[in-house]
Amino acid sequence: MTYKEENDKLMQSVLQGTFFNAYKTDNEDLAYLNFKSLEMIISPICNLNCNYCYITQYGDKLYPKEIRDNNQILKNIDILLDWIVKNNYKPKIDVFSGELFALPIGFKVLEKINNKLSDVTIVIPTNFTFILDKTEQVKDIIQKYKDKGNKLFLSASIDGKYCEDNRPARTNIVRDDDYYDKVFEFCKEQKFAFHPMIYANRIEYWKDNFEWFISMFEKHGFNGYPLYLLEVRNEEWTEEQMKIFKDFVYWLTDWCIKNRRDLFKQGFNILSSILSTIGRGIGCGLQSALYVRMGDLAIVPCHRTSYEGLNYGKFKVEKDEIVGMESDNVENMIATYSFDADNLPVCECCMIKHLCSHGCMGCQFETVGDMFVPNPNVCKLEHAKIIGFVKALIDNKKYEEIIGFCSPEKRIALNLVKEELL
């Protein structure tokens, strides 16, 4: 057996022992809890040109132009879905794209999934520009999923009235008050949530932006505030922007306390992630989803790390049927699935490692040339977040109460930060 053949078998074995076993319909073993997802990366094409977007900057390397043929993408989707059906798998499927509903094949992709799979849940991030001209088409496909016994969830990727300038459109798209009312009305009706990105540019407007989101939830009669906040972990944050971000985290923590929100469950992710514990080595989906690029059926680390040389391999196809695996960098696959971010260089001896979200692996590769080496500027950003959070707890006399519910590791880390502040 050649070295390549051994790596092919190793790749098959690793995936069988994790994701493929987890996809089995009768597998409720908690050991497979973090391996339930499969992400189909459809296309990098988008109708927005977001300032912070890695696809805008590196799309041709992440998803080369020679594998963007729409007919081939649709064919590969059929091949992958047939493989899922043949093996009686039931993964939770994420459909990732630049903007799916702006693609000429967007609805065809969703129709294929709905027609071939049953009892499946699909999640799609979308910038909601479809609300301007395709609202009824989207409602129709959502209803078709319900009729089949499937579930289709959309995650509203809008940054809000005061920060949408970070997401300029490639064409003439008007996002006025009427547009936002329609977005919120749609999400209220369908029970969808929002996930804006907190970026360096216009960070000074985020207090106003947050209050705007809250006012819109109340205006449109939402049950609670379905808002998932995440800072953009890119390197371009300046020292001044980090100070403003730290102040915003302090302000948001103060707001949550005064509004009697449970920081462990209702901290809009950006705060609750500091306190929560996960059962894997990093908080993002890198270790908990199988990422498949549909242009060539490549199995990649994630949608931001699908660079040549990093990819694990691809599905081997014969006569339009998946028959096995072809390895490329199986060593990176094993390293990525097994590492713990707390033990990365710099992180290993960092006092906030048990509180930190850690850097984005894609950003790290793009800026320092190695997926596993943190970007120093992102480290500074995460320190600013933790300091703002802890200071707000102390000033609101909630610190002792909060740490009483934390794990021992987090309690030690929080006390270290507190000592630095005092």
308 and 274, same structural domain? yes
Task: Using the predicted structure, report yes or no on whether residue 172 has a pLDDT greater than 90.
Answer: no
**Among the three residues 305, 338, 371, which one is the final residue of a domain in this structure?**
338
122 and 26, same structural domain? yes
Task: Using the predicted structure, report yes or no on whether residue 29 has a pLDDT greater than 90.
Answer: no
327 and 183, same structural domain? yes
Q: Express each pLDDT in 281-321 by its tens digit.
A: 999 999 999 999 999 999 999 999 999 999 999 999 999 99
What is the rounded CA–CA span in Å between residue 50 and residue 56? 7
Range of the domain at 363: 341-421
391 and 317, same structural domain? no
Number of domains making up the chain: 2
238 and 386, same structural domain? no
Q: Express each pLDDT in 226-275 by its tens digit.
A: 999 999 999 999 999 999 999 999 999 999 999 999 999 999 999 999 99
Closest CA to 309 of 369, 236, 373, 234: 369
Under the banding of pLDDT at 50, 70 and 90, the label for residue 422 is confident
348 and 281, same structural domain? no
DSSP string over 93-129: EEEE-S-GGGSTTHHHHHHHHHHH--S-EEEEEE--G
70 and 51, same structural domain? yes
pLDDT at 140: 98
406 and 290, same structural domain? no
354 phi, psi to nearest 5 deg = -85, -5
Task: Using the predicted structure, report yes or no on whether residue 208 has a pLDDT greater than 70.
Answer: yes
pTM exceeding 0.85: yes
**Among the three residues 295, 315, 338, which one is the final residue of a domain in this structure?**
338
Closest CA to 364 of 378, 381, 350: 378
Under the banding of pLDDT at 50, 70 and 90, the label for residue 27 is low
390 and 262, same structural domain? no
What is the rounded CA–CA span in Å between residue 325 and residue 320? 14
**Among the three residues 338, 367, 385, which one is the final residue of a domain in this structure?**
338
pLDDT at 189: 97
279 and 389, same structural domain? no
DSSP string over 49-60: --TT-HHHHHHH
